[in-house]
Amino acid sequence: MTSTPFNTETDKASIPFTKEACQFAKRSKLADLKWQPHVGCFVWDESNKIKVASPFPNNIYFILNLGHFEKILGSIEEVKNAMIWLPTWHQARLLCNEFDIPHQIVYDAISSKGNDVLTDILELYRLILNELTQ
C-alpha cells in the first residue's frame, strides 16, 4: 500500500503546519515543556531522523502507532528527544489550564487577534512559552 501525501492545495490541515508554529514548539521544548509521546500527537522531525516520507508537509508526523516511532528511533525516550511536539489547539488549551493561565487571558489572547485558526494556535503557543520562560 502506498501513502497519499498531504495536498496543501486541497486538503484541510489538522493543525497549522507553519514554520512559525514549529519554531514556537521548538522554543517551548527548549524551555522544558514536559511531554510524553503518545498516540494522537503531532510531531515535527526537524532533524529528518525519520526516513519514511511524511503524509504532511514540513516533516510533520502524526503518532498513530507509537511502537512504529519507537522502532524507527530506538526508544520512547529517543522519540521524546528527537521529535518536537506540536500540540493541537485542544492540547494547547489543556496546557494553558495546567499552567493555571486564567481563562480571560486565554480568551483575550485569542479574540484580540481575530478569528483565524493559525493565529489562535500561535497565541496559545505564545502563552505556553511565556509560562515556561517566566
The model's pLDDT over 97-108, given as tens digits with 9 standing for 90+, comes to 999 999 999 999
User: Does residue 45 sit within a domain?
Assistant: yes
User: Does residue 10 sit within a domain?
Assistant: no
User: Does residue 2 sit within a domain?
Assistant: no
Q: If you search the block for the grid coordinates 489547539, which residue do you land on?
A: 89
The model's pLDDT over 69-80, given as tens digits with 9 standing for 90+, comes to 999 999 999 999
User: Does residue 69 sit within a domain?
Assistant: yes
In eight-state DSSP terms, residue 60 is: E
User: Does residue 114 sit within a domain?
Assistant: yes
Q: Which three cell numbers stand for residue 4?
A: 497519499
The model's pLDDT over 15-63, given as tens digits with 9 standing for 90+, comes to 778 899 999 999 999 999 999 999 999 999 999 999 988 888 889 999 9
User: Does residue 26 sit within a domain?
Assistant: yes
User: Does residue 43 sit within a domain?
Assistant: yes
Q: What are the C-alpha distances in Å from 93 to residues 75, 105, 120?
A: 28, 12, 10
Tally of structural domains, the chain: 1
Q: What is the pTM of this model?
A: 0.89
Which residue range(s) make up the domain with 106? Answer: 19-132
